Structure 1
């Protein structure tokens, strides 16, 4: 998260120095755990949606990527999306 957060805060800093509105929504900043496998997320968790009574729909996507050109291994990706009508922009 450090690089993503620093980039967004740098932009906000310059906008503030130029007299613009200063606001950052940290729910819209990607968070990453650099492990193997990597884990990343953005936005609210399912628990936060429940606690704030935000209606959502869970969409789970399973992807299998074959890297035959470089290595002989498979990458399994699971993407969980908690979708609402409100988007971070």
Structure 2
């Protein structure tokens, strides 16, 4: 094959490869979008679950778990700031 024909053949092959890579890139972008959406949905679900663990379902008032968590946070602040309880 003459050099000129090799160049044309090579360009045609690279064109096919470019199209294939472009299609693969589009598919990957779609997958990334799906995964990002799933991640946001998971984040939202986790926030809902966190809320459900600290609020009474019937009264919508903070429960004992919430109280214990808040007490622990405040206690750590007192220790950190070296404040005496009087």
TM > 0.5:
no
Question: Which gives a bigger RCO, structure 1 or 2 (Cα 8 Å, sep 6+)?
Answer: 1
TM-score normalised to structure 1 length: 0.20
Point out the structure with the larger strand share: 1
Point out the structure with the larger helix share: 2
